[in-house]
Amino acid sequence: MNADDVLVVQNAVKVFTVRRRSLKRVSMTAVDDVSLTVRRGETVGLVGESGSGKSTLGRAILRLLDLDGGKVLFEGQEIQGLSEREFRPLRAKIQMVFQDPATSFNPTMTIGQTLVDAMRLAGHLTLKQKEQRALALLDQMQLDERFVALYPYEMSGGQLQRVALARALAPEPDFIFLDEPTAALDMSVRGQIINLLLSLQRQSSLSLIFVSHDLRVIRYIADRVYVMYLGQVVETGTKRAVFESPRHPYTRALLAATLIGQAERGEMRRAGMLAGEVTHRAPDFAGCRLYGRCRHATDRCAREPQALRAVAPDHWARCWRAEELAQSGWPAESGSVKEGLPTESQQATA
């Protein structure tokens, strides 16, 4: 860990006891030995679908729930063991943007009141100063001043998410965790939030974790990417490395499903496909979590736990067949997704 690391998560573990659909009580490891690092000024993209543990991890970082194992270090200081009282002053520096604008605002408070409430920890400011800052934040988010007197139900999703960002910025944080901030928004408005974030980062040394299952968005915003599946990190590296040469079958499946959208890409989509559904494994299952869905799986995959290993400089994947898959090729993104790409089977013979 070096001085430039704003946030370091080491071997985080969180276990829940849930009722499965069949009403039996099972323990489910939502976060299974996850480690990640965020450097100052960078955006880490956290990619994963339902059950991946990404939201749980976020809540653990924000101390909205407590980990069962592992550490979280914020600017060198361990925060997972602190009491709420000890941690509270740090809350100003660690903020969050939630997914659903419909439920992340108190319906009985105006936007102005919400923003002022978000500055609770800035005790040295007078009310007048807080109100001024609220107006300034709205302006920064390209929202008209008059929004300050509106209730959440009077605003659109896109507008509310910009307010959510303003709220997170209000206490002047060093780090913001954004949990699928654009998932509930129309595609045509997502770009506005993304570009606002990008310009914020250019101006300050704000560090972000941006969670999304939509790789189209991650592509713009992230510097480095962690891909999670069922509580584990299955691949991580720079954005370029992960997008251009994905080494884990799950990453490839995600890329095939989201990035490629033209009719003739049907082939490509199917080549990357996974079978079946997310299957939560019994605690005694030792093998790879993707077993049963992965088309490259062998017996070894079912027996042996997979570790995260380096497959290239600064690029890790949790699959013993990662190099083989690299051989069979993945079409490199030659500038634009609009060009025709060969299917995987064609590549294999090349």
Partner 1 sequence: MTTAATSPKTATFARPSFLRRLVDANGFWRVTINFGILLVFIGLGILAPVLPLQNPVKPSPMNTLQPPSAETWFGTDRDGMDIFSRTIHAIRTDFTLAISSVLIGIALGVPLGAISGYYGGLLDNVITRITEVFQGFPQILFGMAFIAAAGNTLTNVVLIVAFYNIPVYSKMVRSVVVPLRDVEFVQAARVAGNPSLAIVFRHIIPNALVPVFAQLPLSCAYAVQMIAGLSFIGLGVEIPKPEWGSMIQVGANYIVFGKWWLSIFPGLALFCSVWVLNNISDILKSLWSRRV
Partner 2 sequence: MALVDIQNLRVQFHVGRDVVYALRGVSMQVERGTRTAIVGESGSGKTVTATSMLRLLPPTARITEGRILFQDTDLLALNENELRQIRGSQVCMVFQNASAALNPLYPVGQQIADVYRQHNGGSKREAWQRAVEVLAATGIPHPEDQARNYPFEYSGGMAQRAMIAMALVCSPQLLIADEPTTGLDVTIQVQVLDLIQEVVEKLNATLMLISHDIGLVSVICDRVIVMYAGTVMETGTASQVLEHPANPYTIRLLECFTGTDGEEMPFIPGRVPDLREQWQGCSFARRCPRAQDICWREAPTVRQVEPGHHSACHFS
Contact between 106 and partner 1 (CB under 8 A)?
Answer: yes
DSSP state of 327: H
Residue 323 CA: distances (Å) to CA of 271, 280, 311, 316, 332: 18, 27, 7, 11, 16
- Exactly one of 103, 132, 262, 345 binds partner 2 (CB under 8 A); that residue is 262
Residue 312 CB, nearest approach to partner 2 (Å): 24
Residue placing its CB nearer to partner 2 in the complex, 116 or 254: 254
Count CA atoms closer than 13 A to 290's CA, side-chain side: 28
Contact between 61 and partner 2 (CB under 8 A)?
Answer: no
Q: Which one, of 175, 162, 139, 150, lies nearest residue 62 by Cα? A: 175
- Exactly one of 9, 12, 118, 290 binds partner 1 (CB under 8 A); that residue is 118
Contact between 198 and partner 2 (CB under 8 A)?
Answer: yes
Residue 334 CB, nearest approach to partner 1 (Å): 41
Per the listing, tokens 């490199």 go with 332
Tally of CB atoms within 10 A around 191: 14
Amino acid at 7: L
Residue placing its CB nearer to partner 2 in the complex, 119 or 290: 290
Residue 319 binding: pick among partner 2, partner 1, none (C-beta 5-8 Å cut-off by kind): none
Q: Which one, of 168, 160, 152, 156, lies nearest residue 106 by Cα? A: 152
Backbone angles phi, psi at 343, to 5 degrees: -80, 170
Residue 151 binding: pick among partner 1, partner 2, none (C-beta 5-8 Å cut-off by kind): partner 1
Q: Is 248 helix (H, G, I), strand (E, B) or coil?
A: coil
Tally of CB atoms within 10 A around 284: 5
Residue 21 CB, nearest approach to partner 1 (Å): 20
Residue 62 CA: distances (Å) to CA of 72, 90, 92, 171, 347: 10, 10, 11, 14, 44
Binders of partner 2: how many residues, by CB under 8 A? 49
- Exactly one of 84, 153, 338, 340 binds partner 2 (CB under 8 A); that residue is 338
DSSP state of 233: E
* Six-digit token string for 216: 């189209």
Residue 258 binding: pick among partner 1, partner 2, none (C-beta 5-8 Å cut-off by kind): partner 2
Q: Report the site for partner 1 in 14-73 (rule: CB under 8 A).
A: 59, 62, 64
Residue 117 CB, nearest approach to partner 2 (Å): 25
Q: Report the site for partner 1 in 133-152 (rule: CB under 8 A).
A: 135, 145-146, 148-152
DSSP state of 280: P
Residue placing its CB nearer to partner 1 in the complex, 167 or 247: 167
| Cβ contacts of 129-137, under 8 Å, gap ≥ 24 | 133/170, 134/166, 134/170, 137/166, 137/169, 137/170
Q: Which residues pair with 47 in a beta bridge?
A: 212, 227
Residue 174 CB, nearest approach to partner 1 (Å): 14
Residue 238 binding: pick among partner 2, partner 1, none (C-beta 5-8 Å cut-off by kind): none
DSSP state of 76: T
Contact between 220 and partner 2 (CB under 8 A)?
Answer: yes
CB 248 within 8 A of CB 317: yes
**Per-residue x/- track, 270-309, partner 2 (CB under 8 A):** x--xxxxxx-------------------------------
List interacting residues with partner 1 (CB under 8 A).
59, 62, 64, 84, 88, 91-92, 94-96, 98-110, 112-113, 117-121, 131, 135, 145-146, 148-154, 167, 170-171
List interacting residues with partner 2 (CB under 8 A).
21-22, 49-50, 156-159, 186-192, 194-195, 198, 213-214, 216-217, 219-221, 250, 253-254, 256-258, 260-263, 265-266, 269-270, 273-278, 335-338
